[in-house]
Every structure is written in C-alpha cells, then in structure tokens.
Amino acid sequence: MIPRRLTAPDPGWTIDTDIIVIGSGVAGLVTALRARTAGRVLLVTKALLDDGSTRWAQGGIAAALHPDDSPEEHLRDTLTAGVGLCDDEAVRVLVTEGPDAVRELIELGAEFDRGEDGRVALTREGGHLKRRIAHAGGDATGAEVSRALLAKIKDSGIEVIEHALVLDLLMEQGRAAGVTLHVMGEGRRDGVGAARARAVILATGGLGQVFQATTNPEVSTGDGVALALRAGAAVTDLEFVQFHPTVMWLGPDAKGRQPLISEAVRGEGAYLIDERGDRFMAGRHPLADLAPRDVVAKAIMAMMRETGAPCAYLDGRNLGPRTWANRFPTILAACEEHGIDPVHEPIPVIPAAHYASGGVRTDLWGRTSVPGLYACGEVACTGVHGANRLASNSLLEGLVFGRRIAEALPADLAADAPAGTASGGAVAGPALLDPSVHADVQQVMTSCAGVLRNGPGLERAARDLAALADRTTGEPCTEAWEATNLHTVASLIVAAARRREETRGSHWREDFPDADENWLGHLVSTLADDGTITTDYEPRELS
C-alpha cells in the first residue's frame, strides 16, 4: 500500500509566497529566475544548492547551433532514440526553442568551450547524426551551467531555503496551495513547516537511487514523483529508466554514485571492446559505438552474457594525452582516482542507472494533472524522451520547459479559479517506512528490475516491495521519508515494467525480446484512495 501522505508532525511555522520552486538543478534555477515576473518566488532545495544532478552532467547540452544543423535534424534524432513513444509536438518545442535557451544561458554568464573560430565548440554523442553538443570545461558542462545560474540566483533576491525536504502538497479546493517541508535549519525555520503559495513547481530531479549503482547523487530519491502521485497527479513512462552504457566498473559490489564516462569520449573517437580487444559494436548498428544509448547498453549486456565477462572496456588510447587532459579533465581525474590511466589502458565500464525518461506527466507548459502543480526537468514527463532519452537532451529539456512554465504562470495565476474540491472518499492512512527499507528497495530493484527484466523477476519484485510496505515506523525522520518515497517510486516502476510485455528503448524484457506495435502507447499510473497503484494503458495519439 502506498501512503496518500507522509506521516509528519504538524507544521511549526508558516511562510507565505506566490510561487514555490522545489529543486536547484538547471530546471529549478531557470524557472525560479524567470518566474519572478509572476510573483514572489521561494526556492527550496533538499541539500545544498549545487548538490543535485546538474553539477555532475558531463557531456553537454544538445541544440542545433551550427549553421549546418537544424532543429528538424535534431527532432529526427530525438524521435529515433525515443523508439516511437516521443510526443512529436513536445519534441518540436524542445528542438526549436532549444537554441535560444542555450543562447540565453550564455547571456546569463555560462561559458561554453569554443573552437578556434570563436564559435561554441560542438561534439557528438550517441544517437546524434550531427555534432550538436555544446560543452563547458571540457567535460564539466553541468558544473559550469550550475555556477552561472547560481550566481544569478544569489543576485536575484530570491529567497532560498537549503536542507529542505518537501514532504507533501497542501491542497485547497482541488488545487495546489503550497507544501509541507522539513528543514534542517536553526531558529524559526527548523523542523516541519508549511510554505503557502499559489503555484508549486517540481524540479526535484531523478530517482537513480532506487538502484544500488547509479550515476545519480544521493539526493536523487524520486521525491517529486512520489509527492505528485500522493497529491493525485498522473505519472507516466516510469518503466523507461535509462541505463548509461559507460559507467566506470568498480567491481560487482559497487554501490552509490558511480563515475560516469561521458558518451562524448566516444564522440571524440574512443570505442568499446571486449576482454579480447574486439570491437563488438561494429555491425550491430549503423552508428556502431555512437548508436543510441539503449542499443549500446544492450550490446554490452549481451556481450557480457555471451563471454561471461564482468564488464566491457572503453578504449580511448587513440585520443592521446592532450585530448584527455583538455577535453576530459574530470573523467581523467576520476580514472586516476581509481588507479586507471585511460591514456594507456582501456577503462572497465558497465551500464548503470542514469536517467528517468518518464515522470510526472505534464502538458507543453509544464502543467501536471493537478491544478497549480507544475513539473520540469527529470521529474517531469513532458513527452520529449519517449522510451529512451537522446544524449544531452536533459539539460536542454530543463531549460526549455522551465522557461515555458515561467511564461505560463502569469496568466495561469491571474485565472486562479479554484478547480473544484479535493477528492473525498476513504483515503488510505499515512504509513511511514522504516529507514532500513531504503537498502532493501535498492537490492530488490537491482536484482529484479534493472537493465534486464523478465516476468518472474518483476513478479518477485512486486511481491518483495509489497512485503516491505509492512515495515513501518512511527518515527518521522528524513531517512524514513526518503525510504517511503523510494519505495513508492520503485513500486511505480515495477507496476509499469510488469505491464509492458515488449522490449522498447530502455525497457528490456528478456521474455518479450521484440518491440510490439500493440504497445505503441503509454502506461499512466495514479494512486487510488485505497493506496493501490493503478496503471492504465493509453494508446499513443499519432499527430
């Protein structure tokens, strides 16, 4: 059973504002900066301002910035990567507004790497037929974007609360009216409080911590998806958890955040080999090592199964010491930290959980199915990723749809009509899970619902998760709230993964190894009053 709200003490303090932005990655920061035209903005973030996933983004931001490229070509590559499940209109928004959004980022102070001609330097990554990935600091794009936006936030007068875990939505007459939150602060804003507002924007990032090994930081526990579900919002495409193909292999028992080896390394000429040194991507896909991410991850897993190898290897010796030092300083340092010299030896790599292509369902303006609640960035499902996100479309999505929410807000708030009353009926009571559930959820998801899935494994996962729901605690604390959120998100993933009896994009069913036309639609989940997840199939509307 999934709780309809988290157990928490009554709020001990209250703040009044107009717009609450939750999360301080690229999506949250851009939305907060732009939303000021619609009213007072409060930015709350779970840890420190730059503790989210954005800071770790390496490869860059995809946008048709070169005169030889076009939004139309970017659209085509995005649709191909999404394997039939992208929303064409959302992708068109992404690729046509993308170049302007990147130019605005540059105006805001983000310094992208430039070529000798002074233009923004562009690289390639998997699934892109053109060089269209803008990068910064070589392989530290997210850190630079974060730096530039945070500098603006600091000058903006926007109120910021750090170490604030948002618990639940406050509802009034059927619409979002603020949030309850727990702040590890001091003085008047310590403990559980309430922030009242007319609009709430979720920009809480991803859910990679559902698995034992992930590229995501510790804060990525799916809080936004869980909160939205509890508030009555629809979530969709959750079965499509993208596994990045080249994450440094640190041994079979590796846990927590793993070092990412950007696809841009392959974009600059590195390639995958097996233990014998053979290039196994050749002949598997016309783009070989630069095939879309799901194709490469599957090829690595297939090679490992065929040969019994524990990992694949990324051979970047042909890049030479200068390219490693100048283009990939972050990755070089991570390799060195783990005793690997990528200039002279291949890097052991394995696929690991990286990105949720699904999330809280939104329209083209970031509006969720709950009036007054918006979502952007990884927590959202705008429809641009379909079954498999194209490389470096994630920062872009945060930028483009964050801007769109800010654009929609003034009119939405002016209309501000109560949308009816909150749903009544018997509502499952709160149940908070014991903090120890966190590790057990990760174990279940890693062994039964990871990169390779099958019916019996997913059934076992569903059973194990149902059993974990009984491990409750009466003591609210951050670890218990996070464990409950992780369990909710894991249950959503498993419910959708069990239903989808086909292999498509990043959802790989060993027992249904092919894509099936009958599954060319979305799985949409909501939470029933009795605490059960309902997952309905919705055929895709073809435009």
Return the HEC string of 446-486.
Answer: HHHCCCCECHHHHHHHHHHHHHHCCCEECCCCHHHHHHHHH
Does 220 bind ligand SIN (CB under 6 A)? Our answer is no
CA 160 from chain centre, in angstroms, equals: 22
Quote the tokens at residue 481.
């709230």
Burial zone of 380 (CB within 10 Å; 0-12 exposed, 13-18 middle, 19+ buried):
buried
- Residue 131 DSSP label: -
Shortest distance in whole angstroms from residue 482 CB to ligand SIN: 23
Does 263 bind ligand SIN (CB under 6 A)? Our answer is yes
Single out the residue of 204, 262, 368, 491 in contact with ligand SIN (rule: CB under 6 A): 262
Does 23 bind ligand SIN (CB under 6 A)? Our answer is no
Does 178 bind ligand SIN (CB under 6 A)? Our answer is no
Nearer to ligand SIN, 158 or 241 (CB): 241
Among 175, 198, 293, 498, the active-site one is 293
| CA gap 235, 378 in Å, rounded | 12
β-bridge partners, 123: 133
Shortest distance in whole angstroms from residue 314 CB to ligand SIN: 11
| CA gap 58, 274 in Å, rounded | 25
Does 247 bind ligand SIN (CB under 6 A)? Our answer is no
Nearer to ligand SIN, 328 or 519 (CB): 328
Shortest distance in whole angstroms from residue 392 CB to ligand SIN: 4
Instruction: Give catalytic status of residue 293 as yes or no.
Output: yes
Shortest distance in whole angstroms from residue 261 CB to ligand SIN: 8
Nearer to ligand SIN, 179 or 207 (CB): 207
Sole window of 228-236, 374-382, 389-397, 437-445 interacting with ligand SIN (rule: CB under 6 A)? 389-397
Does 394 bind ligand SIN (CB under 6 A)? Our answer is yes
Single out the residue of 392, 491, 503, 506 in contact with ligand SIN (rule: CB under 6 A): 392
Nearer to ligand SIN, 55 or 182 (CB): 55
Is there a contact between 465 and 483 (Cβ–Cβ < 8 Å)?
no
Sole window of 105-113, 149-157, 256-264, 379-387 interacting with ligand SIN (rule: CB under 6 A)? 256-264
Nearer to ligand SIN, 271 or 355 (CB): 355
Burial zone of 513 (CB within 10 Å; 0-12 exposed, 13-18 middle, 19+ buried):
exposed
Does 296 bind ligand SIN (CB under 6 A)? Our answer is no
Dihedral sign computed on CA atoms, order 485, 368, 395, 271: positive
Sole window of 309-317, 390-398, 464-472, 482-490 interacting with ligand SIN (rule: CB under 6 A)? 390-398
Which residues ranging from 349 to 368 are in contact with ligand SIN (CB under 6 A)?
355
The Cβ of residue 249 has, within 10 Å, a number of other Cβ atoms equal to: 23
Burial zone of 306 (CB within 10 Å; 0-12 exposed, 13-18 middle, 19+ buried):
exposed
Alpha-carbon radius of gyration of the chain: 22
Nearer to ligand SIN, 57 or 231 (CB): 57
Nearer to ligand SIN, 243 or 508 (CB): 243
Shortest distance in whole angstroms from residue 250 CB to ligand SIN: 18
Contact characters 30-69, ligand SIN, x per CB under 6 A = ---------------------------xxx----------
With CA atoms as reference, report the closest residue to 420 among 197, 172, 199, 234. Answer: 172
With CA atoms as reference, report the closest residue to 230 among 1, 52, 483. Answer: 1
Is there a contact between 203 and 40 (Cβ–Cβ < 8 Å)?
no
The count of chain residues that interact with ligand SIN, using the rule CB under 6 A, is 11
CA angle 447, 445, 510 (to 5 degrees): 60
Single out the residue of 231, 270, 391, 486 in contact with ligand SIN (rule: CB under 6 A): 391
| CA gap 78, 87 in Å, rounded | 10
Nearer to ligand SIN, 305 or 338 (CB): 338
Nearer to ligand SIN, 178 or 398 (CB): 398
The Cβ of residue 243 has, within 10 Å, a number of other Cβ atoms equal to: 28
Sole window of 387-395, 404-412, 493-501, 533-541 interacting with ligand SIN (rule: CB under 6 A)? 387-395
Which residues ranging from 111 to 130 are in contact with ligand SIN (CB under 6 A)?
125
Q: Which helix (H) or strand (E) is 44 found in, with range?
A: strand 41-44
Contacts of 18 (CB under 8 A, 6+ apart): 38, 39, 40, 41, 197, 198, 199, 413
Shortest distance in whole angstroms from residue 216 CB to ligand SIN: 11
Q: Tell me which residues touch ligand SIN (CB under 6 A).
A: 57-59, 125, 262-264, 355, 391-392, 394
Residues with catalytic roles? 293
